[in-house]
Structure 1
């Protein structure tokens, strides 16, 4: 999905975004896309884990997420594709990311994860038991809270991106 910018030879970067709850498959897909050379993957949970800061430190998580996002915008402005592995549960978050990407002259590739609650919880229980490196443990209460907060992507939002794909539970 590369296109040339207004100056001959300028490359336009792509911001790959994810909209999905914990356990929906965002990390699996993000890692695959990164391995395929589709961009630099930024994953706050993994960075926090690498820095040795417990996932319970939510204030640190928010600061780190903001710092990584600012770095993503710098990369986009320099023509580097970015895979932002945040869940973007809220419409306002997605609108801001779309606006920022456009201000950087970037294309937007949106992946929407539409996975039922029981499947999410089953996956999260397995992930919690395995203690997956870099993955924040998710309790049933935290998943329920996220489920209740989540705002599905609207048809209008899909019209604002350059490409989109919906994933319904499998890891295609």
Structure 2
């Protein structure tokens, strides 16, 4: 019997330092999905994380993960998906291709994020963007956290909290 498995589009949503990359790497091992991290690509290509090429690279990676889903390959999108409209568009894309859309929202208190980022910045790893407290504050103002009415639109969702 040939059973076709639905591909998964797994969206990680959260601010810098919330644990998205650590979780994405774990999911990548467990589910065999292809993980997309623009930060790692920027580092691998030798670009500054804030270089203007980032938008073009992100657009190309978006086309690539979409092609993979169309070929029944599961993907993990770990870039944060800060805006509701972006998450809606990804969810609609997945649904139109009979892929499941799963959201992981990292709802971590600001004081915990500050502490994590201080520790991360003290010993930076490859592909990890150094985030200053000022950049974090700016990010908080730009971030649109998923509300309960949005969460239930996904095939599955998990809210991760610091514990």
Separation of aligned partners in 2, 1:41 and 1:56: 21
1:137 aligns to 2:137 (yes or no): no
Helix, strand or coil: the match of 2:88? helix
Partner of 1:36: 30
User: Does the 8 Å CA contact 1:47/1:134 hold for their aligned counterparts?
Assistant: yes
Structure-2 change in CA distance of 1:162 and 1:38 (3 Å): farther
Separation of aligned partners in 2, 1:121 and 1:146: 12
Helix, strand or coil: the match of 2:31? coil
Partner of 2:107: 114
Write out the 4+ residue segments of structure 1 that deviate beyond 4 Å after TM superposition: none
1:125 aligns to 2:105 (yes or no): no
Instruction: Give runs of aligned pairs for residues 40-119 of structure 1, distance below 5 A.
Output: 40-57=34-51, 59-119=52-112
Q: 1:103 deviation in Å?
A: 2.3
Q: 1:9 deviation in Å?
A: 3.7
Helix, strand or coil: the match of 1:11? coil
Helix, strand or coil: the match of 1:119? helix
Structure-2 change in CA distance of 1:56 and 1:152 (3 Å): closer
Partner of 2:20: 26
User: Does the 8 Å CA contact 1:77/1:105 hold for their aligned counterparts?
Assistant: no
What TM-score do you get using the length of structure 2 for normalisation? 0.94
5+ unaligned residues in a row in structure 1: which ranges? 1-7
Query: How many matched pairs?
Result: 162
User: Does the 8 Å CA contact 1:76/1:82 hold for their aligned counterparts?
Assistant: yes
What TM-score do you get using the length of structure 1 for normalisation? 0.89
Separation of aligned partners in 2, 1:22 and 1:14: 24
> How much is the aligned-residue C-alpha RMSD, in angstroms?
1.3
Q: 1:138 deviation in Å?
A: 0.7
Separation of aligned partners in 2, 1:155 and 1:109: 14
5+ unaligned residues in a row in structure 2: which ranges? none
1:16 aligns to 2:49 (yes or no): no
